Structure formats: structure tokens, C-alpha cells
Amino acid sequence: MGTVSRMDTIRWGVMAPGRIARSFAADLALVPDAELVATGSRSLDRATTFADEFGGAAHGSYEELVADEAVDVVYVASPHPLHAEHTRMALAAGKHVLCEKPMTLDGASTAALFDEAAERGLFLMEAMWMATHPTIRTLRALLTDGEHGTARQVHASIGFVAGPDPTSRLVDPALGGGALLDMGVYPLTFAQLLLGEPDQLTAVANLSDRAIDLDISIAGRYPGGATAALTATLTSHASVTATVSTEIGTFELPRPFYSPDRIRWTSYWTEGGAGEWIEPDEPVVGQGYGNEAMEVHRCLRSGALTSELVPPSQTIALMRQMDDLRAQVGVSYADRVGT
């Protein structure tokens, strides 16, 4: 276990077949050298329903899934307070892991997971698919080519109305509810991908009566004096767009800014200001989860234990930024951390 040869089909196991696992599995089917060979759920019925649709074996427990010898890499898609336990379970069984975002509830437990994967010689990556998305990669390249100026200011907004169900994982503290961990991680990561690690982040938030952040606004200062205004909400329908301003023009990222089909560049000098639409350099596979799976494949085939597009340093830095922001606004998962 643990080694994947250059020619093999890479065999995936899905742990926790909920909403995002469905989107991921649909895109995985479009990746030519990927095979979904097993699904593990707390319920055999749910695993069977998922396996009937996407293929592979069905297991009625996560333990059985990670013990399945046909599985090379486990995709962990449970609610975030369970990511650490479930990732550790897969690593202990000798499986490589792609773990949904946010990786855990705090920076320390995220760092510990990467240490454990490295000690075991296994691959681990946070499923921060925005960073592997071709359009976002193209934007990053455009901001380093010198022709579009230097990013000076980033605006990004994300969110939707979570709905009234108090047991929804989005608002339930026991399931890691809150706008920052669930959604704010996207604008924060977006700003870091373009501007570097922040020098300062300041937040204000609106908390629920169960003390999770329903709405959060973050102001950031980045190297060289670049700044960002980043928002996430569970009480309003946000535009889910972003802009990146340089000293010579603006990039606009249409909805959803973390996985747009294309971006618009408007130079300050362009007559009429209509701008120019720019397509990604590489094809988007499915919604973009396919490109994330392809990055995992690329790493496994090269023997890399971590991804350069979603490196542990970035994931850990983001988790630590969110620790700090939650402390600023008074949201704590202290009783759940490490579980």
C-alpha cells in the first residue's frame, strides 16, 4: 500500500457520501485514469445508493472503507470537526488522503495531520480546489507576467442564506458551523494566492445565539502594502464575485469567483472600458473537481507527498489565520478541536 506506479489507474475511495462527495464523484468520472472503487458511509444503504450511481463497492462503515485493499487514496468528505479523525483513520490504514476544506478546526491539528502523513510516507492534501482550478491558475500566471501590473487590492464575497434548519452543519456549532470556516476560507485563500501571506487581518462578525459567525467581514494588509476586503455570509445571497485591482487595471471574476469559466481584464487605458475576456490555459474538468483529482494523481505518480498547488504551508497558514480571526470575533470550537 501507499505506492502508485506510473501506469496504474488510481483507485479512489469516498468517505462520507454527502453533497460535496456527489459533486466530486461526478467529476472524478471524467478523469481518464481515475476509478471510484469504493464508498464508505455510516449507513450501508447510503453507501449502496452512492455506489449504484458512481460505481465501486459499498461499505457500511468508514473502517471497512479504509481497510479495502483496492483503495489507493481516500477522499474525506465528512463535516469539518471529523476531518482529523477520519484523515488519521485513513493514514493509519496506509491510504493517501485528499481531505475536504477546511482541513480541521484549527492550525495546530492541521499541522499535526501533515506531520503524521509525512511520518507515514503518505500523500495528504486539503481539497482547496480553487487553487487547482485552471482559471485561478491562469489569473495567478497573469499577475506574474508583468503586463498586468501588480495586485494592489482584492475584493471577494461569498455566501448564501443557510436556511432555518438548526441541525444544518452550516449553523450547528457541533458540526463546525459558521461562515468563516465553511466559506470565508475561499476569499482568504484567494487573497493569499494572489498577494502572499498577510501581515495583518482584522475581522468583525455577526454571531448567532449559539455563538457561531453568521456573517463576517475581514480587512487584510499584505506584503508591499496590498490590501483586501473579504466577506462571507450565511444570512444573505452574496454576489460571489471578486475583483483584483492593479496599478494599471482590474481583473473581474464572475460568479462563482473561486471557479469561474473565464475572467475579464480591463486596462485603465482601454478605450470604452469594455475589457477583454480571458479563458483558462487548460481545460476545466467537470466543475473543476476533476482538476483537483488530476493534481492528486500528478503528485502520486511523481512520488510527492504534498502538492505544490495546495502546499501544507498554505493550508496551515490559512487555518492559523482563521484561529486568529475567530479569536477576534469570539467564536471558539475549543471543546471540539482534536476530535
Ligand X SMILES: NC(=O)c1ccc[n+]([C@@H]2O[C@H](COP(=O)([O-])OP(=O)(O)OC[C@H]3O[C@@H](n4cnc5c(N)ncnc54)[C@H](OP(=O)(O)O)[C@@H]3O)[C@@H](O)[C@H]2O)c1
CA distances from 318 to 128, 177, 321, 323 (A): 11, 17, 5, 9
Strand partners, 52: none
Under a CB-based contact definition with an 8 Å cutoff, are residues 30 and 285 in contact? yes
Compute the least distance from the CB of residue 77 to ligand X, in Å: 5
Place of cell 479569536: 327
Q: How far is the CB of 246 from ligand X (least distance, A)?
A: 28
Name the minimum Å distance from CB 337 to ligand X. Answer: 15
User: What's the closest the beta carbon of residue 276 comes to ligand X, in angstroms?
Assistant: 28
Residues known to be catalytic: 101
Indicate the residue among 129 and 251 with the shorter CB distance to ligand X.
Answer: 129
Given the complex with ligand X, which of 104 and 245 has the nearer CB atom? 104
Rule CB under 6 A: which residues touch ligand X? 16-20, 41-43, 46, 77-80, 82, 100-101, 127, 129, 169, 175, 182
Assigned C-alpha cell, 242: 471578486
* Closer to ligand X by Cβ: residue 40 or 220: 40
In 3D space, the residue among 98, 130, 102, 131 whose CA is nearest the CA of residue 28 turns out to be: 98
Nearer Cβ to ligand X, position 80 or 297? 80
CB nearer to ligand X: pick between 151 and 193: 193
In angstroms, give the least distance from the CB of 139 to ligand X: 18
Q: How far is the CB of 324 from ligand X (least distance, A)?
A: 20
Closer residue to ligand X (CB): 42 or 262: 42
